[in-house]
């Protein structure tokens, strides 16, 4: 009795699809073996009998083998009722599983199993635009979107994996396979107060760093007061979007041509025409004006430098370059 209960418990853990597959194979093999023994002159080998059984079960019915004796036909009738029933259930189970997986993918409940991917937290116009820009530059980069407000995967952009849930929960981050991700972009949630949005962002940073301490995180922060907290939490780059947007709006209001200049810089940045260039050994100690002239001849315009985390546009001509400096460089636009 205990052995029977053990067997029932063991079979209870076997997926239905595997049970049906086993039933189809078993019924086909048994029926094929029986007809081979009943009509050895027509079904000359075991394989001929099994072949006929599976053709019958699949309702194909080639007609190359046909049982003639009464007993063999009785076996065929039983096979049709039993085997075909199991086959129908098997096919519908496979179809149901495929539909279920597709629906689960849309609803964001399927775990991502790739690696070296980009994780974007929050669905909004900024994240949508970021995904489109990234896909233009790196079309083969895998992107995982985490959001708890979307009912299902957005139709556009394409080729992203959706994970629905709270980005500060370990289970959701593990579902996005954060431990094997390349980098993370966290966009601020604008519903509620700006302080609450920043607190949520910082909590997400802490959760991500707890699972992957070495991952690169870029975070959108709405209030200047929370920048230091975000950096302490582990953010590698922070974008203070409200200050940036406010500066652009006020500049455009006071100087109408300012927005055109900012937009042009953003377009240059999106096209990888603006970058930071490390200082070469032979340039250490040279004045900025000499380096500027040298790079201009190479069709690269130097507009400033980065030193100790600070950006200096149009520094003094006699400023000597140091080893850890980085030049802010604009490549010439070939279209002009």
Asked if 194 contacts 155 with a C-beta cutoff of 8 angstroms, the reply is no
User: Is residue 145 a contact partner of residue 210, using CB atoms and an 8 Å limit?
Assistant: no
**Residues 330, 301: contact at Cβ < 8 Å?**
yes
**What pLDDT tens digit does each residue of the chain (336 aa) get?**
455 545 555 555 556 667 777 777 888 888 888 988 888 888 888 888 888 888 888 777 666 778 888 888 888 888 877 777 777 777 777 777 677 767 777 888 888 988 999 999 999 988 998 898 888 888 889 999 999 988 888 877 888 999 999 999 999 999 999 999 999 999 998 777 888 999 999 999 999 999 999 999 999 999 888 989 999 999 998 888 877 677 666 766 666 666 666 666 666 665 666 778 888 888 888 888 888 888 887 777 888 888 887 888 888 888 888 888 888 887 766 554
- What does the pLDDT look like over 47-102, one tens digit per residue? 888 888 888 887 776 667 788 888 888 888 888 777 777 777 777 777 776 777 67
What's the whole-model pTM score? 0.63
Residue-range domains of the chain with CATH: 2-107 (1.10.287.70), 118-244 (3.40.50.720), 273-336 (3.30.70.1450)
């Amino acid at each position: 009795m205990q052995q029977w209960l053990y067997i029932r418990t063991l079979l209870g853990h076997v997926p239905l699809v595997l049970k049906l597959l086993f039933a189809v194979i078993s019924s086909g093999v048994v029926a094929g073996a029986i007809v081979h023994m009943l009509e050895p002159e027509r079904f000359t080998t075991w394989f001929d009998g099994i072949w006929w059984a599976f053709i019958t079960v699949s309702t194909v019915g080639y007609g190359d083998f046909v049982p003639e004796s009464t007993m063999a036909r009785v076996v065929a009738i039983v096979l049709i009722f039993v085997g075909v029933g199991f086959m129908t259930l098997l096919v519908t189970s496979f179809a149901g599983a495929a539909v279920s997986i597709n629906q689960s993918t849309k609803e964001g409940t399927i775990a991502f199993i790739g690696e070296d991917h980009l994780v974007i937290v929050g669905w909004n116009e900024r994240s949508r635009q970021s995904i489109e820009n990234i896909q233009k530059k790196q079309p083969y980069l895998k992107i995982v979107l985490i959001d708890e407000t979307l009912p299902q995967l957005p139709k556009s952009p394409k080729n992203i994996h959706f994970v629905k849930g709270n980005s500060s929960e370990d289970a959701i981050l593990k579902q996005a396979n954060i431990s094997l991700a390349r980098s993370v972009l966290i966009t601020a949630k604008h519903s509620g107060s700006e302080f609450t949005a920043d607190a949520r962002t910082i909590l997400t940073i802490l959760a991500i760093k707890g699972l992957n301490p070495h991952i690169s995180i870029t975070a959108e922060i709405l209030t200047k007061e929370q920048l230091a907290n975000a950096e302490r939490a582990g953010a590698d780059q922070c974008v203070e979007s409200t200050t940036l947007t406010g500066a652009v709006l006020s500049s455009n209001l006071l100087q109408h041509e300012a927005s055109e200049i900012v937009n042009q810089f953003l377009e240059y940045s999106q096209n990888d025409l603006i970058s930071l260039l490390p200082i070469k050994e032979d340039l250490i100690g040279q004045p900025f004006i000499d380096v500027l002239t040298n790079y201009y001849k190479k069709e690269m315009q130097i507009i400033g430098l980065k030193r100790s985390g600070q950006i200096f546009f149009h520094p003094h001509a006699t400023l000597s370059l140091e080893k850890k400096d980085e030049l802010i460089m604009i490549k010439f636009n070939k279209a002009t």
